[in-house]
Structure 1
Amino acid sequence: MLQTYSIIVTGKVQGVFYRQSTKERAHDLNLTGYVKNLPDGTVLIMASGTTEQLLQLVIWCRKGPARAKVEEVKVETVAPAVFMGFRIER
């Protein structure tokens, strides 16, 4: 069953390849959606897939790429959305 998560990641998550690494991980997990930097210094991820796929992404988000220092990951289930692939939004 398709689900969509809205994930907000706080900490040192901009300028450390968090978006690119998220895109690569999402592709590995066969998720669709997008990732983007927000003006407040956080990263927003909207991802659709199975519960198991999404939980694997959330686990990865808590660590992120090597240079990231994740402080918090907020996850919210939102209305299911259909995306074409997984992309980085500006």
Structure 2
Amino acid sequence: MKTHRLRIHGRVQGVWFRESMRMEAERLNVAGWVRNAPDGTVEAVIQGPASAVEALIKWVHTGPPLARVDRVEIGEADGVYREFLKRTD
């Protein structure tokens, strides 16, 4: 089981990024959460089997069609997650 914290930079707010990521995470059976950050980035914590987490990280580097991902910061995280949530906080 892998758990990572992501910060996605670029044109990632207002382009359906969070909902698209939630759908992709559910498709891959990855748990965690995603939210818009006040600085214009998108933050996420993702958890699941290593291959599924790596597939979601690969997806995040492109995102949905209207997004422009400039950079993805990847760090370690902890916690236990049972589903993938689109947070509004």
- TM-score category (smaller protein): over 0.9
* Counterpart residue type for residue 41 of structure 1: G
Structure 2: any 5+ residue segments left out of the alignment? none
* Counterpart residue type for residue 87 of structure 1: L
Aligned residues: 88
Q: Distance in 2 between the 1:52 and 1:37 partners?
A: 25
Structure 1: any 5+ residue segments left out of the alignment? none
After TM superposition, the score normalised by the length of structure 1 is: 0.94
After TM superposition, the score normalised by the length of structure 2 is: 0.95
Cα deviation, residue 82, structure 1:
1.1
Partner of 2:45: 46
Partner of 1:64: 63
Partner of 1:24: 23
Give CA deviations for 1:3-55 in whole Å, capped at 9, x if unaligned: 21101100000000000000000001101110000000000010110111111
* Counterpart residue type for residue 86 of structure 1: F
Give CA deviations for 1:31-86 in whole Å, capped at 9, x if unaligned: 1110000000000010110111111011000000000000001111223x211310
Partner of 2:82: 84
* Runs of 4+ deviating beyond 6 Å: none
Query: Aligned-pair RMSD on alpha carbons?
Result: 0.8
Partner of 1:15: 14
* Counterpart residue type for residue 89 of structure 1: R
Q: Distance in 2 between the 1:46 and 1:78 partners?
A: 7
Partner of 1:3: 2
